[in-house]
Amino acid sequence: MLVYFYRNAEHLAPEHLECLVDTMPKQQQDIVAHYKSHRQKCEQAIAYTMLCHALKNDRDLINDSLTTIKAFPHSALRFTLSVFPLWAFGEHGKPYITNYEGIHFNISHCKEAVAIGISNRTIGIDIEGRRRFSDTLLERAFNDDEKAIVKNCDDPQKEFACIWTRKEAYFKWTGTGILMDHLKTTETEARNAGCIISTSPIIDTEQGQADFWLSIAK
């Protein structure tokens, strides 16, 4: 399994975004055009470019049972495939590829980064930076054990983000997306469903601190 992430997607120059979109298949151009803000358009275009790059250059990592997480270089934001992946969407909006047999992928984005996971089996990913949260959301979405972790730690925003990514990655793995009525699902229940969830902090090499957290469900 392979995960690429790209920091600060909104910094992509408008002319570079336009160049990427112009070389995409019409279907993907329409998906990018659906979004209103420059940042959202960039996230979709970059995610699609990362998927294409992985299919061209990293098929061995996609098929590996281990997970490789890589920062995607700005210099690789270009297309080299002759057969572009075509997307369709499941009942709850989860995207899948129709013309690359046996390839599964999932996308996530936050203010800090956009990420895409590619594998030869079903996956779900979520990426999240340190985030503020309300007591109402904590009570509604977290089970008792999770609330205790957040309330008794030194950095509640960090712990909330870590736990939230694990929840969202699991629900994206199931294909349902976030359902508020099910958010208190425990990780024991996820394991019983055959899902293993792992979380990695993405570290700023200059500051030595985690910018965001990436959770993978497979």
Residue 135: its pLDDT value, please?
Answer: 87
Residues 47 and 109 in one domain: yes
Tell me the pLDDT of the chain averaged across its residues: 90
Residues 43, 146: one domain? no
CATH at 14: 3.90.470.20
Q: DSSP 3-state assignment of 1?
A: coil
Model pLDDT for residues 8-48, shown as the tens digit of each residue: 999 999 999 999 999 999 999 999 999 999 999 999 999 99
Domains in the chain: how many in total? 2
CA–CA–CA angle 30, 69, 88 (5° rounding): 25
CB 190 within 8 Å of CB 217: yes
Task: Name the residue range of residue 175's domain.
Answer: 128-217
Would the pLDDT of 180 be above 70? no
pLDDT score, position 203: 72
80 Cβ contact partners less than 8 Å away, ≥ 6 residues apart: 52, 53, 56, 57
Residue 212, pLDDT above cutoff 90: no
Q: What is the pLDDT of residue 206?
A: 56
Show the CA angle centred on residue 208, arms to residues 11 and 154, nearest 5°: 105
Based on the domain organization, do 12 and 106 belong to the same domain? yes
Instruction: Check pLDDT > 80 for residue 208.
Output: no
| pLDDT for residue 184 is more than 80 | no
Give the pLDDT confidence of 74-83 residue by residue, as tens digits.
Answer: 999 988 888 9
133 shares a domain with 84: no
Quick one: pLDDT at residue 130? 80
Choice between 28 and 184, residue whose per-residue pLDDT is larger: 28
Residues 6 and 114 in one domain: yes
Last residue of a domain, one of 121, 151, 176: 121
Choose the final residue of a domain: 63, 95, 121.
121
Confidence of residue 132 (pLDDT cuts 50, 70, 90): confident
**pLDDT exceeds 80 at position 182:** no
Last residue of a domain, one of 71, 100, 121: 121
Same domain? 41 vs 107:
yes
